[in-house]
Amino acid sequence: MGSQALTLIDRLALINSTTSIPRIGFGVYKIRGPACTTAVIEALSAGYRHIDSAALYSNEQHVRTAVEQSSVDRKDVFLTTKVGSPTAKKSRASDEDGVYREVVDSVDRIAGEDGYVDLLLIHVPGPSRSHREKLWAAMERLRNEGRAKNIGVSNFRVRHLEEMREYATDWPPSVNQIELHPWCQQRDVVTYCQTHGIIVEAYSPLATGTRLDDPTVQGIATKKGKTPAQILIRYALQKGWVPLPKSVKPDRIRENLDVFNFDLDQDDMTALDGLDEGSKGAVFKMNVD
């Protein structure tokens, strides 16, 4: 996939939907308070049109403030949040209505009581099938009510996606957001998703910055006149993933978006493919088999 095939305004069609998702998004993990609002406003100003949050991040309300204060119309922003993390505050109830209420609360925080999200995800598979079923039922209900335009999952392995066939009204989910970068490629999950039309989102596409000094990445960056971060983001794009880089620094926010004026040749892609370490290369090892 060359540079002519990718532009900042590209979008990918979502399955079981009439809508589409931008090819790159801005993540806000561990960015909280006014810093989150400032970062999201900066990201929207730079050209991002896809913001990814979660109930677990404790910053949904700050994302909402940023979207409201931004000069970009809400209809032009693709807004995502994630629900159902066992490490978030305990649900007020385990019954279906209680779970539904928790999901509604999350959408209210990020979009307002009359608002909607473009994508609502189950954050992690969680402790049990019962947990997943109740969350998915609540999310299907919100989608039917127009408060979630699309619904999907995060950190689901192939077995979780297969299990969904037994309880999901509409299958497959629109998206599976997983950790992806050259050192953790989760090829079985990616292949499964792409075979079934599930969009693959890549969180931590920079491996949280821990591998930017890798000699292979450095060599390609020098050859292309780009930063290691830009090489990793471009790699994700050419793999067909939707990368979600994050930063609070205005120059880095813009730098991470400046990835549409070059491409990686087949030798570059092969070299980066060869860095895969499987689950050992994951930053968030609890979410990778």
Catalytic residues: 57
> How far separated are the first and last CA of the chain, in Å rounded?
29
Alpha carbon distance 11, 137 (integer Å)? 27
Give per-residue burial for 41-54: e unless 16+ CB within 10 Å, then b.
Answer: bbbbebbbbbbbbb
According to DSSP, residue 253 is labeled: H
The pair of structure tokens assigned to 247 is: 């930063």
Find out whether 41 and 68 touch, Cβ atoms under 8 Å. Answer: no
CA 96, chain centre distance (Å): 26
Bridge-based pairing of strands 199-203 and 175-179 is parallel
- Please give the C-alpha separations between residue 157 and each of 28, 169, 286, in angstroms, as whole numbers: 23, 19, 12
- Please give the C-alpha separations between residue 277 and each of 53, 106, 285, in angstroms, as whole numbers: 28, 35, 12
Alpha carbon distance 162, 43 (integer Å)? 36
Find out whether 122 and 153 touch, Cβ atoms under 8 Å. Answer: yes
Alpha carbon distance 212, 35 (integer Å)? 24
Is 123 annotated to bind ligand? yes
Sign of CA pseudo-dihedral 79, 84, 85, 87: positive
Q: Which residues are annotated as a binding site?
A: 123
Q: Which residues are annotated as a binding site for substrate?
A: 123
